[in-house]
Amino acid sequence: MSIRIKVFLVLLVLTLLPYGLASFFIFKYGENQLRNNIKNQQLQNIALIQQNIQNYFLSMKKNLNFWSKAQILDDILIGDLDKRIQIFLDQIKTNYHLKGILLVVNKEGRIIASTKRKLVGKSFWNIGLSGQNNFILTFPVFSSFDKRKIGEFVYIFKPYYLKSFLYKNPFSGLSLYNTKSKARIGYIEDIPEILLYKNEYEDKEYIYFSQGFSLTDLKNWLLISQINKEAVFSPLRKIQDYFFFVFITGFFLIVAFSFYISEKLVRPIKNIAETMEYVVDKKDYSVRVLYSGKDEIGILAKAFNHMLSEVETALKTIEKENKRRLYLFKNLIEIFSRITSVQKDTEVLDVAVKELQKFFKDIKIHFSKKKMHYSVPIKTKSIEGYLVFETKKTLTKEEKNFYTSIGELINLLLEKVELLTKAQEASKAKSAFISNMSHELRTPLNSILGFSQFLQSIETDSTKREALKSIETAGRHLLEMINDILDYAKLEAGAVYVKKERFFIKELLDEVFTIVKPLAEDKNLKLEYFYENFPVYSDKKLLKQILLNLLSNGIKFTEKGYIRVKAWKENDKVFFSAKDTGIGIKNEDIEKIFQDFTQLENPLQKRYKGTGLGLAIVKKYIELLGGKIEVHSQEYKGTEFVFWIKEN
């Protein structure tokens, strides 16, 4: 659960929940109180109205009783001949504002006088006024002479006239209800039947109270009061609405407030967390949390930033130290690799220690036979001892490792020097042997070739001269092969060293052409060359050898046409091309032509005169000069060799 929701819930529980509960109970209580008040008030009202009605009845009865004792009523006996009773009744009705009908009935039940004229003379029992609803109040009339009952004094009035006692206002209404006839008078539209049995009832809209009368005249009647709940409780509802409004407003305020609080709280924490994640993910310790608050989060952010900067500084220090060491190592290795020009391993060790000392100011480095301070064993065939690192401070594990690897480096260096010395010695021996061999092989050939030439120059017999020429040719062929083999042997022995010099391309090509030209002319081949004179920095002798080999090869395999040489320069590369119009090379053989004599059994090689080593030597020479050779050829059309060498 996020902090935002937690804050929201806490605030809700702390504020709105009590508020809601309190207001709920207050309303319940208030409603009860109000209801009780209303009820009491209503009951009082009813009582009062009942009282009024009953008082009305009582006073009416008192009056009627009084009027029934009037002497004038003796006229009943004469049937109100003089209409005196009639006048008496009319006067009462007028004076007392009676709405009902006043009657005087004789002993036989005949109506003597009435405020309603048409009833006079009729039988009281037949007029139908004694209908269910009408109130009929009767009082006996006695003769003033003999106190004999001579008739009845009657007042009839409709219950309707009681309506004036009832009222209606926005809150409540009153009605009279006759339990027998179900007649009703008053302001209540629907009177629930249940009120016949209960004196309190409540439905959705109203509260009802019913109350019977104690007076016998009203025994069938109930006074019913109806209270409009909505009207009565409307102030409460209004307050309730107000409370609800406050609740809703509070709710939204709390939502907003918790959002704000959590935003205020969570944002910086989130920010810190995200920064942490970023740091862990990207290993970038240069970022900082941006939070300037002075609260606990601010302290956290500050502490975090502090930690970051500490880590960053530490890392930077480590990186710097690593770089320094790398730099040291690089320099050491460079120096060490230069030291290999020193031939003896004891000297190498001396120079190495001296060079090391230059790098380490705070530490004394020397070689010792004994183990002391921090020392790394040094061991070769002729040297055994320790490289001592003398310092006052205690060395850390890393420093020890570092010094150990320096020691190992020196060991390696010494080993390398040893191997190099051995290799050089071996190479020198081979080289010397080959030089010797070449000398020894050429010396007798010198005689063979020399004498055959000399004899040709003095011999007059053409057959003998031809034979001598054959000896010379065979001898030259043998010489070529010896030269090839010796060159190759030298290459294999690693005894061919590149000796670069500055010269112009013309010098090189002139030297080559001087040798090749007679050969080409012998076969009637054109020798063409295209070049602009430019300076070259390379091994002239090797280049000469390469070109001679290629060109003499070309001449050897070309019967007619031309041999064309080109030379040009592109950046730091010098290009040469040697093209002939000779027999060409079969496609499947092209790859084999540069292979050396280990491939002598190849059928291709057998077509060649000679060792077949020429091109293999050429290729190796070119590689020695840092270059490459390619061949393009079409069978029976010609061959082109293109190669380049690097000047540096």
Partner 1 sequence: MKKVLIVDDDKQNRFLLRLILEKEGFLVKEAQTGKECIDIMKEDVFDLVLLDVMMPDINGFDVYKEIKGKTPVIFLTALGERDIKERDIEYILKPIDIQIFVKKVKEKVK
Note the residues at the interface with partner 1 (CB under 8 A).
Answer: 435, 438-440, 442-451, 453-454, 457-458, 475, 479, 483, 486, 496, 499, 541
Closest contact distance (angstroms) between CB of 607 and partner 1 is 27
**Coil, strand or helix: which one is 630?**
strand
| C-beta of 496 vs 509, nearer to partner 1 | 496
| C-beta of 490 vs 564, nearer to partner 1 | 490
Closest contact distance (angstroms) between CB of 500 and partner 1 is 12
Half-sphere exposure for 251 (CA within 13 Å, toward CB):
8
Closest contact distance (angstroms) between CB of 430 and partner 1 is 14
**How far is the CA of 459 from the CAs of 134, 272, 293, 464, 467, in angstroms?**
192, 109, 118, 7, 11
Structure tokens at 442: 């050429």
Residue 341: CB atoms within 10 A of its CB come to 10
| C-beta of 75 vs 487, nearer to partner 1 | 487
> Tokens 């002598």 — which residue?
600
Concatenated DSSP letters for 307-362?
Answer: HHHHHHHHHHHHHHHHHHHHHHHHHHHHHHHHHTTS-SHHHHHHHHHHHHHHH-SS
- Sheet architecture: strand order including 101-106: 111-114, 101-106, 149-157, 135-142
| C-beta of 430 vs 442, nearer to partner 1 | 442
| C-beta of 1 vs 458, nearer to partner 1 | 458
| C-beta of 490 vs 619, nearer to partner 1 | 490
| C-beta of 184 vs 540, nearer to partner 1 | 540
Selection from 130, 152, 144 nearest residue 68 by Cα: 152
Burial call 449-461: b when 16+ CB within 10 Å, e when fewer: beebeebbeebee
Structure tokens at 304: 């975090």
Closest contact distance (angstroms) between CB of 645 and partner 1 is 17
CA distance 455 to 477: 19
Closest contact distance (angstroms) between CB of 357 and partner 1 is 39
| C-beta of 122 vs 541, nearer to partner 1 | 541
Closest contact distance (angstroms) between CB of 409 and partner 1 is 36
3-state helix, strand, coil in the chain (%, to 5): 55, 20, 25
What is residue 588's DSSP assignment?
G
| C-beta of 215 vs 445, nearer to partner 1 | 445
CB 626 within 8 A of CB 518: no
Closest contact distance (angstroms) between CB of 476 and partner 1 is 8
Selection from 231, 232, 210, 229 nearest residue 221 by Cα: 210
Q: At what angle do helices 397-458 and 296-339 cross, to 10 degrees?
A: 30
Closest contact distance (angstroms) between CB of 489 and partner 1 is 11
Closest contact distance (angstroms) between CB of 509 and partner 1 is 17
